[in-house]
């Protein structure tokens, strides 16, 4: 008999994107006797995996090798990733993508029926599997549809998690609001895997969907798990102004040019190689994302970008690719440009600017997705294993979700199979949590002048001003002060919506509180890393400093609003730190 | 003075009001704004209680479907300007139960997707060690269109049969079944036929074709149903005239 009734599981996965769904299938295939459930604040096929465009990297062709994939990943990461994790990742990547193929993923093919691969930024060999430029969409739907055939996988769709239940040093479930009814529930689980994605919504201009508010990161952080390498935030060089909609790197891999206001391929001025009329791997437009986004900022300083109503931009020129190639390889780019910019990339240039895209940091885990808290695991963008270091290689993230989703699933299942007994009296945490929520967001003495949208806007401003592509001690300190004030102000808020039914004002308040906690970790980690590496660029410390900082930052939440940052050395196996060379 | 436009939004908060009602909001009429931006403006600046689903704002997550002036539309892919000078009427998707305001109950739809058995079915599992299936670009093109469905449910709101016959499995689920039926790697067509040619299956469709009209991804569910009916009919005749078929 289940002690905690029907809502008791062996493994509970929070988040139904690629990592979460992959974990759920890995668990049920390896341990059919275990009860497994996926809880998500949206229906799984709405998860942000759906927006990923370009592709997923894995070695499959004869001219490629695991070492090449490892080297591209490690040099792309500016040597901040753990090389044992990278070696495991590149080794398991091909099998994972093949598994997706066997589940029906519509990968693009060569004429003879074999899997096709394309080039991507920062790679010396073509190794990106793709499903046109809707790879994330196809991958997510394939996983979700496949998961439906496994009856043991239970789902809690549209349940919003408000806290982890950690008792006696073990994670034993979550508390969540069922959105349709407003009911607060304790869902017991012998192990929990956080697959909640990233936190791009902390920033004003992002490719990320509205749901990406760092929920799992904040939940783990509040439970005492450190957040690792949070100072590393990736700007993708090509987002549409105003909407922040991503124009995939595949557009450049197929031969697109980046032009400044004089029509000049400005990347040649930034140590990224010579301009050629065709795409060259690890060169120019196919350089790594951090370097391209930084080059944009430099161009802006020189006054060579174009002023627009939604900030400065440059041009991405695809005209020379022709209609046929665009429709065959990057049809979604054309669809998005037509729908949202009212232009046709086969005939006109696309305005683009750098846009927050991905966080390399996340919940501190080991190579199996285990966090320092017993029974708590994490995978996907929410986690930091780390294979992404200071700058993620394009097209590694979907593969990461699969490889480490499966790994975390297996590890969490093995732990749960030990059938440890639940602690006594966990159910009473629900009533405590109910009171906490009342106190936090429905105070009768709430300050009516404060609003969720107002505080969110100020957070956005503070993050863009203080923790953007280039940072300084002053900018970060000023943002840190603002975030602290906003955290206090959020506690004085009083929500207008008192309905129990689908209260999205309440969930928005929660999301904002999660984002502010994650923001404090980003800023503090950035302040203490007095060097420049990958996506973390300090104007006051422009050099990489391996002596002091070839190490991961671990930010622990403290009671006073300033996290404590500790460091853990990077694991080096076969690739000693070197210079990042592109364009050669 | 900035130009404005009025949104007449259907509200429904079950514990507070027994029936749906309309509430008007005046919002700025900005270039580049989609309907969803206007709803977000209302939620952020005017009325925090307004409730709807949304996420990606790039027409791929499928969350934000609503009726805009009585036509099903993805609100993140529908420009506000097109409705100037207004007013614009926003109501929840037709033929679904309403949970609150613009949020509809999708449980039934999720069950229908599962009825299509949307996963690769093979007689024998191919081990991973044998590598990938071969599939030429032409073979992929056979099912590609049907694989583009984002589950936004607009086609259900456009389909009069869904309104009359709640058990009808519906356009998106049939297109999804076809996505696998036409996949060269799949061998599950018979299994799916059993489900989809029965009660509430393809023969409920009366060929209105509105599903394909409103589809934001050009999936053409109506075409998928037509193709299904063609095979379904052949198979029915085969089962009558050639009962030994398929029993060897």
Q: pLDDT tens digits, residue range B99-155?
A: 999 999 999 999 999 999 999 999 998 999 999 999 999 999 999 999 999 999 999
Interchain pair B119, A452: CB under 8 A: no
Contact B96, B104 (CB under 8 A): yes
Q: Report the chain B residue with the minimal C-alpha distance to residue A502.
A: B100
A252 has catalytic annotation: yes
Residues of A whose CB is below 8 A from B103: 502
Q: Is residue B128 within 8 angstroms of chain A, CB to CB?
A: yes
Residue of A nearest to B115 (CA): A148
Say whether B119 and A209 touch across the interface (CB within 8 A): no
Which residue in the set A98, A137, A141 is minimally distant from B132, CB to CB? A98
Phi, psi values for residue B108, rounded to 5°: -60, -45
Cβ–Cβ of A502/B134 closer than 8 Å?
no
Choosing from A252, A364, A460, A544, the catalytic residue is A252
Q: Chain A contact for B247, CB < 8 A?
A: no
Region for residue B151 given its phi and psi (left: phi exceeds 0; alpha: psi -120 to 50; beta: otherwise): left
Please give the Cα distance from A145 to A140 (Å, whole number). 8
Burial class (CB in 10 A: 0-12, 13-18, 19+), A224: middle
3-state secondary structure A1-28: CCCCHHHEEEEEEECCCHHHHHHHHHHH
Confidence at B248, pLDDT banded by 50, 70, 90: very low
The dotted CATH code for B107-246 is 1.10.1060.10
Locate the domains of chain B by residue range: 4-104, 107-246
Exposure string over A490-501, b if 16+ CB within 10 A, otherwise e = beebebebebbb
Report CB contact under 8 Å: A209, B51.
no
Calpha distance A405→A18 (Å, rounded):
8
Identify the three-state secondary structure at position A33: coil
Tell me the shortest Cα–Cα distance from B162 to chain A, in angstroms. Answer: 22
Tokens, residue B212: 């394909």
Name the residue with tokens 């500016």: A78
Q: Which of B187, B183, B230 is nearest to B205 (CA)?
A: B230
Lateral strand order in the sheet of A314-317: A233-239, A350-359, A314-317, A257-259
Are B180 and A104 inside 8 Å of each other by CB? yes
Task: Round to whole Å and give the CA distance between A428 and A146.
Answer: 37
Task: Compare all CA atoms of chain B with the CA of A107 and give the residue at the minimum distance.
Answer: B140
What does the pLDDT look like over A456-513, one tens digit per residue? 999 999 999 999 999 999 999 999 999 999 999 998 888 999 999 999 999 999 999 9
Residue A124: other Cβ atoms inside 10 A = 17
Cβ <8 Å between B61 and A452: no
Distance from the Cα of A45 to chain B's closest Cα (Å) equals 7
Provide the 8-state DSSP code for A298. Answer: H
Chain B, 181-200: which have a CB under 8 Å from a chain A CB? 183, 185-186
Does the beta carbon of B151 lie under 8 angstroms from any beta carbon of chain A? Answer: yes
Contact B35/A at CB under 8 A: no
In DSSP notation, A348-379 reads SPEEEEEEEEEES-EEE--TTSB-SSBTEEE-
Q: How far is B240 from chain A (nearest CA, A)?
A: 31
Distance CA B210, CA B35 (A): 22
Please report, in angstroms and rounded to a whole number, the separation of the first and last CA atoms in chain B: 78
Q: Nearest CA of chain A to the CA of B237: how many Å? A: 30
CB contact under 8 A, B147 and A95: no
Give the end-to-end CA distance of chain A in Å, rounded to a whole number: 65
User: The domain B4-104 belongs to what CATH superfamily?
Assistant: Beta-grasp domain (3.10.20.30)
* Tokens read off for B71: 């036509």
Each residue of B9-22: pLDDT tens digit? 999 999 998 899 99
CB contact under 8 A, B55 and A48: yes
* Residues of chain A neighbouring B61 (CB-CB closer than 8 A): 42, 45-48, 50-51, 209
Would B4-104 and B107-246 be classified into the same CATH topology? no
Q: What is the pTM of this model?
A: 0.97
d(CA A207, CA A216): 19
Is the Cβ pair A452, B100 closer than 8 Å? no
- B110 with A43: Cβ contact below 8 A: yes
For residues B129 and B150, give the distance between their C-alpha atoms in angstroms, rounded to a whole number: 32
Q: Quick check: A354 and A334 in contact, CB under 8 A?
A: no
Helix (H, G, I), strand (E, B) or coil at A156: strand
Decide: A456 and A512 in contact? Cβ < 8 Å. yes
d(CA B7, CA B26): 6
3-state secondary structure at position B67 = strand
| Of residues A255, A258, A248, A306, the one with CA closest to residue A279 | A255
B195: left (phi over 0), alpha (psi -120 to 50) or beta: alpha
pLDDT in 10s for each residue of chain A, 584 residues: 477 888 999 999 999 999 999 999 999 999 999 999 999 999 999 999 999 999 999 999 999 999 999 999 999 999 999 999 999 999 999 999 999 999 999 999 999 999 999 999 999 999 999 999 999 999 999 999 999 999 999 999 999 999 999 999 999 999 999 999 999 999 999 999 999 999 999 999 999 999 999 999 999 999 999 999 999 999 999 999 999 999 999 999 999 999 999 999 999 999 999 999 999 999 999 999 999 999 999 999 999 999 999 999 999 999 999 999 999 999 999 999 999 988 999 999 999 999 999 999 999 999 999 999 999 999 999 999 999 999 999 999 999 999 999 999 999 999 999 999 999 999 899 999 999 999 999 877 777 788 999 999 999 999 999 999 999 999 999 999 999 999 999 988 889 999 999 999 999 999 999 999 999 999 999 999 999 999 999 999 999 999 999 999 999 999 788 999 999 999 999 999 999 999 98
Chain A residues touching residue B48 (CB < 8 angstroms) = 451-452, 495-497, 505
In whole angstroms, give the CA distance from residue B169 to residue B232. 15
Q: What angle do CA A37, A10, A49 make, to 5 degrees?
A: 35
Q: Is A282 a known active-site residue?
A: no
Q: What angle do CA A41, A43, A45 make, to 5 degrees?
A: 125
Interface test mutation site (partner B, options A106, A215, A450, A453, max chain B beta carbons within 10 A): A106
E strand or H helix at A45, and its extent? none
B82 CB-near residues (< 8 Å, 6+ apart): none
Residue A233's CB: how many other CB atoms inside 10 A? 27
Q: For residue B170, report the phi and psi dihedrals to the nearest 5 degrees.
A: 95, 165
Burial class (CB in 10 A: 0-12, 13-18, 19+), A131: buried
Q: For an interface test with B, give the residue of A94, A112, A137, A508 to mutate (most B CBs within 10 A).
A: A137
ipTM value of the model? Answer: 0.96
Total CB pairs under 8 A between chain A and B:
155
Instruction: Judge whether A530 and A538 are in contact, CB under 8 Å.
Output: yes
B-chain residue closest to A47, CA distance: B61
- The Cβ of residue B114 has, within 10 Å, a number of other Cβ atoms equal to 16
Contact between B137 and A111 using a beta-carbon 8 Å cutoff: yes
C-alpha angle A339-A343-A344 in degrees, rounded to nearest 5: 100
CB-based contacts of B229, cutoff 8 Å, min separation 6 = B202, B203, B205
* Closest-CA residue of chain A to B137: A109
DSSP A246: B
Nearest neighbour of A505 by CB, restricted to B49, B105, B114: B49
Q: Does B94 touch chain A (CB under 8 A)?
A: no
């Amino acid at each position: 008999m289940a002690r905690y009734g029907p809502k008791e599981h062996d493994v509970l996965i929070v988040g139904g994107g690629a990592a979460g769904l992959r974990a759920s299938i890995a668990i049920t295939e390896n341990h059919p006797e275990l009860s497994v459930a996926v809880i998500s604040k949206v229906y799984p096929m709405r998860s942000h995996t759906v927006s990923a465009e370009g592709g997923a990297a894995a070695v499959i062709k004869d001219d490629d090798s695991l070492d090449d994939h490892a080297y591209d990943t490690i040099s792309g990461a500016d040597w901040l990733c753990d090389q044992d994790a990278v070696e495991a990742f590149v080794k398991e990547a091909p099998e994972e993508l093949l598994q997706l193929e066997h589940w029906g993923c519509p990968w693009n093919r060569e004429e003879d029926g074999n899997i096709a691969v394309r080039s991507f930024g920062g790679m010396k060999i073509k190794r990106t599997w793709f499903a046109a430029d809707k790879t994330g969409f196809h991958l997510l739907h394939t996983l979700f549809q496949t998961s439906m055939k496994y009856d043991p996988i239970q789902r809690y769709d549209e349940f919003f998690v408000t806290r982890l239940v950690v008792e006696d040093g073990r994670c034993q479930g979550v508390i969540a609001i069922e959105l349709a009814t407003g009911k607060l529930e304790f869902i017991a689980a012998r192990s929990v895997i956080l697959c909640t994605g990233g936190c791009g919504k902390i920033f004003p201009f992002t490719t990320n969907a509205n749901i990406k508010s760092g929920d799992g990161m904040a939940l783990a952080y509040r439970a005492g798990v450190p957040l690792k390498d949070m100072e590393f935030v990736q700007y993708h060089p090509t987002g549409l102004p105003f909407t922040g909609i991503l124009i995939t790197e595949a557009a450049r891999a197929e031969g697109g040019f980046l032009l400044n206001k004089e029509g000049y391929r400005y990347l040649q001025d930034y140590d990224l190689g010579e301009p050629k009329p065709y795409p060259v791997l690890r060169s120019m437009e196919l350089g790594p994302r951090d370097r391209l986004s930084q080059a944009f900022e430099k161009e802006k300083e020189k006054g060579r970008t174009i002023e627009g109503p939604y900030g400065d931009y440059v041009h991405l020129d695809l005209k020379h690719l022709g209609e046929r190639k665009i429709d065959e390889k990057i049809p979604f780019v054309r669809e998005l440009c037509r729908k949202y910019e009212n232009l046709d990339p086969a005939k006109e240039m696309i305005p683009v600017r750098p846009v927050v895209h991905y966080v390399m940091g996340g919940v501190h885990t080991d190579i199996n997705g285990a966090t320092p808290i017993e029974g708590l695991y994490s995978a996907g963008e929410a986690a930091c294993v780390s294979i992404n270091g200071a700058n993620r290689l394009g097209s590694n993230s979907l593969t990461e979700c699969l490889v480490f989703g499966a790994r975390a699933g297996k590890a969490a299942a093995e732990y749960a199979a030990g059938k440890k007994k639940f602690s006594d009296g966990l159910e009473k945490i629900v009533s405590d949590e109910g009171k906490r929520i009342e106190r936090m967001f429905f105070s009768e003495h709430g300050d009516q002048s404060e609003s969720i949208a107002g505080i969110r806007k100020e957070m956005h401003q503070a993050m863009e001003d203080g923790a953007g592509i280039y940072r300084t001690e002053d900018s970060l300190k000023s943002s840190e002060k603002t975030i602290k004030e906003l955290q206090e102000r959020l506690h004085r808020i009083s929500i207008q919506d008192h309905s129990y039914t689908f209260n999205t004002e309440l969930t928005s308040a929660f999301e904002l509180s999660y984002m502010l906690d994650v923001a404090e970790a980003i800023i503090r980690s950035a302040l203490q890393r007095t060097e420049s590496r990958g996506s973390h660029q300090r104007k006051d410390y422009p050099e990489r400093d391996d002596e002091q900082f070839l190490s991961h930052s671990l930010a622990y939440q403290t009671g006073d609003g300033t996290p404590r940052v500790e460091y853990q050395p990077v694991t080096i196996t076969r690739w000693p730190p070197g210079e990042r060379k592109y364009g050669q | 003075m900035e130009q404005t436009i009025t949104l007449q939004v259907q509200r429904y908060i079950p514990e507070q009001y027994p029936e749906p009602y309309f509430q008007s909001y005046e919002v700025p009429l900005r270039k580049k704004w989609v309907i969803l931006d206007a709803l977000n403006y209302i939620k952020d600046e005017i009325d925090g209680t307004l409730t709807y689903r949304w996420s990606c704002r790039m027409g791929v997550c499928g969350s934000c479907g609503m009726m805009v002036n009585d036509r099903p539309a993805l609100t993140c892919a529908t420009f506000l300007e097109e409705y100037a000078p207004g007013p614009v009427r926003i109501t929840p998707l037709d033929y679904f139960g309403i949970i609150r305001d613009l949020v509809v109950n999708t449980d039934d739809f999720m069950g229908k997707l599962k009825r299509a058995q949307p996963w690769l079915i093979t007689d024998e599992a191919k081990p991973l060690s044998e590598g990938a299936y071969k599939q030429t670009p032409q073979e992929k093109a056979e099912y590609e269109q049907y694989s583009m469905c984002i589950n936004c449910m607009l086609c259900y709101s456009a389909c009069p049969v869904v309104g009359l016959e709640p058990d009808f499995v519906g356009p998106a689920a049939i297109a999804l079944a076809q996505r696998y039926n036409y996949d060269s790697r799949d061998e599950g067509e018979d299994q799916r036929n059993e489900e989809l040619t029965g009660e509430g299956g393809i023969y409920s469709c009366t060929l209105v074709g509105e599903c394909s009209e409103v589809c934001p991804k050009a999936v053409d569910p109506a075409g998928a149903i037509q193709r299904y009916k063609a095979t379904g009919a052949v198979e029915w005749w085969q089962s009558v005239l050639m009962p030994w078929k398929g029993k060897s």
